[in-house]
A = this chain, B = another copy of it.
Amino acid sequence: MTNCQIGLVGAGTIGGGVVKILNKQKEFFATSLGLPLELKRIVDINADHFDKLPIGNTICSANADDILNDDDISIVIELIGGTTFAKELVINACNAGKHVVTANKALISEHGPEIFETAEKNGVSLFFEASVGGGMPAIKTIRESMIANEIISVETIINGTCNYILSQMTEKGLSFDSVLKTAQENGYAEADPALDIEGGDSGHKVSIMASLLYGGYVPYEKVHIEGITAITGDDIKFARKLGYTIKLLGIIKKLKDNYIDIRIHPAMLHNSHILASVSDVYNAVYIKGDAVGDILLYGRGAGEMPTASAVVSDVVDIARNIATDHRKRISMDYYRSSNELKVASISLITSRYYLCFSVSDEPMVFASIASVLGEHSISIASVIQNEEHSDDSVPIVILTHEAVEENLQDAVKEIERQSFIKAKTRIIRIEE
């Protein structure tokens, strides 16, 4: 084939990794695969980015139009992030008849229907493997390898920053704040960590997965999201004592009548759960299909080279299509805007719960709590009440049997009206 020419917009961390891989593997792609890939142009508003990279003959500039107006370029890689200029760029690239590869989870999650329709209309591919799970092949496994399956459920640890923080809190007994500070110093957390620790990044990723899994579109804002900022060292200590590990978990389940259950929140996993041993910056996706049974994908979900590896795998997929005169293969498939999936309210789910009440040390407190729980059809599985306590409040930890979320929240609200309650009750769902 003639050269397949590529334009890259965004030469930051991931973009730099892409440049390095395209340079290192150039000979392999050209001779072994028969796919000569040429990085013709790189655009970045920060010219410093070009200096550290093996640029060769690539033309560097600061204006994305240089790529859009270059008729030789058939594949545009978008790695600038954000949803304003990135969206405009992706739509313009599609309208210019160019295939697009992106790692932008916010863009796909929040504007999927519009950009996929634009790609479809122009007969170009829009690939986004790197948007979920970095180098782990989550998207390809869902949309190609498991296509013969009805997906029963997905459980996933999909944010490396949160998993690192919780792992360090668990292993070293450190507080949330001190681990976050170290993570920022080591580059495992952003200077502004909100998108990670408040769960938004995970929410984007599960909304993309659910949209692919269930033949429709799950808007980001329909995902129930709780981050890890409220998790205390005490919660982790109690969890360990009970044989559990606390993880920020993404959950997708198909319910009846085309409703889906989709949420991100801290969850207590029994130590025998396969995801309980996924530690540090590692990610994992645990998928149950009706035919294949359970499959686990595990790997580094972020970082320069893992993410760049996924970007380049999409570029090669498109180049293979171009090489065989096959302009477009798989774009919207079943990511259809017309079919917005119905998301079940979190109040209707059932789960087991960890409750940590902070109470004053006086008679009848436990009896009072137990009685309110009982009135709301919540039965108690186990209790930890320690004598040790530092101030005038005592923690009472209760693990419940399966209960309805709404009943649980009502019961806790009622208990919190009592004068013996000294601080906000901590609630963590338990996944078996």
A324 within 8 A of partner (CB): yes
Copies in the complex: 2
Q: Which of A32, A292, A305, A316 has the most CB of B within 10 A?
A: A292
The answer for the CA separation of A329 and B33 in the assembled complex, in Å, is: 12
A295 contacts which of B135, B305, B326 (Cβ < 8 Å)?
Answer: B135
Closest chain B residue to A216, Cβ basis: B32
- Inter-chain contact B135/A313, CB cutoff 8 Å: no
Report if A13 contacts B (CB, 8 A): no
A257 interfacial by beta-carbon distance below 8 Å: no
Of B17, B292, B320, which one neighbours A330 at CB under 8 angstroms?
A: B320
Residues on B with C-beta less than 8 A from A28 are 215
Contacts of A135 in B (CB 8 A): 289, 291-293, 295
Are B293 and A299 touching (Cβ within 8 A)?
A: yes
Residue of B nearest to A326 (CB): B326
The answer to whether A312 has its CB under 8 Å from any CB of chain B is yes
Interface of A is mostly: mixed
If A326-B329, A330-B320 touch, does A296 touch B299 (CB 8 Å cutoff)?
Answer: yes
Contact A295 B325 (CB under 8 A): no
Contact of B295 with A136 in the complex, beta carbons under 8 Å: yes
A333 to B148, CA, bound (A): 25
How far is the CB of A431 from the nearest CB of chain B, in Å? 18
**Interface: A235 (CB within 8 A):** no
Decide yes or no whether A140 CB sits under 8 A from chain B.
Answer: yes
Is A32 a contact of B334 with CB atoms below 8 Å?
Answer: yes
Separation in Å of the A312 CB from the closest CB of chain B?
Answer: 4
Q: Mark A204-237, 1 if CB is under 8 A from B, else 0.
A: 0000000000010000000000000000000000
| Contact call B293/A305, Cβ cutoff below 8 A | yes
Question: Which B residues touch A182, using CB under 8 A?
Answer: none
Say yes or no: A308 contacts B291, CB within 8 Å: yes
Which residue in chain B gives the minimum CB-CB distance to A297? Answer: B297
Q: State how many angstroms separate the Cβ of A68 from the closest Cβ of chain B.
A: 25
How far is B137's CA from A369's CA once the two chains are assembled, in angstroms?
50
A82-116 interface code vs B (CB 8 A; 1 in, 0 out): 00000000000000000000000000000000000
Q: Which residues of B contact A136 (CB under 8 A)?
A: 295
Q: Which residues of B contact A129 (CB under 8 A)?
A: 145
Contacts of A215 in B (CB 8 A): 28, 32
| A298 neighbours in B (Cβ, 8 Å) | 274, 295-298
Chain A 11-53 interface mask (CB, 8 Å, partner B; 1/0): 0000001000100010010001100000000000000000000
A127 nearest CB across to chain B (Å): 11
Note all chain B residues with C-beta closer than 8 A to A32: 215, 333-334
Q: Does A418 contact B (CB under 8 A)?
A: no
Out of B145, B313, B330, B334, which one reaches A147, CB within 8 Å? B313
- Residue of chain B at shortest CB distance from A274: B298
The answer to whether B148 touches A137, judged by C-beta atoms less than 8 angstroms apart, is no
Interface residues of A in 310-358 (CB under 8 A from B): 310, 312-313, 316-317, 320-321, 324-326, 328-330, 333-334
Chain B: minimal CB distance from A66 (Å): 25
Interface assignment of A309: CB less than 8 Å from any CB of chain B? yes
Kindly provide the distance from the CB of A425 to the nearest chain B CB, expressed in whole angstroms.
35
Known: A293-B300, A294-B299. A321 touches B312 (CB 8 A): no
Beta-carbon contact of A291 and B306 below 8 Å: yes
Identify which of B150, B292, B303, B313 contacts A145 (C-beta below 8 A). Answer: B313
Q: Pick from A147, A149, A329 the residue with the most CB of B within 10 Å.
A: A147
Bound: A32/B295 CA distance, A: 23
Give a binary string over A255-270; 1 marks a CB under 8 Å from any B CB, 0 the rest: 0000000000000000
Cα A423 to Cα B325 in complex, Å, equals 65
Question: How far, in angstroms, from A146 to B309 measured CA to CA in the complex?
Answer: 7
Known: A17-B291, A144-B316, A148-B309. 8 other contacts (CB 8 A): A21-B291, A28-B215, A32-B334, A135-B291, A137-B146, A147-B313, A148-B316, A324-B328
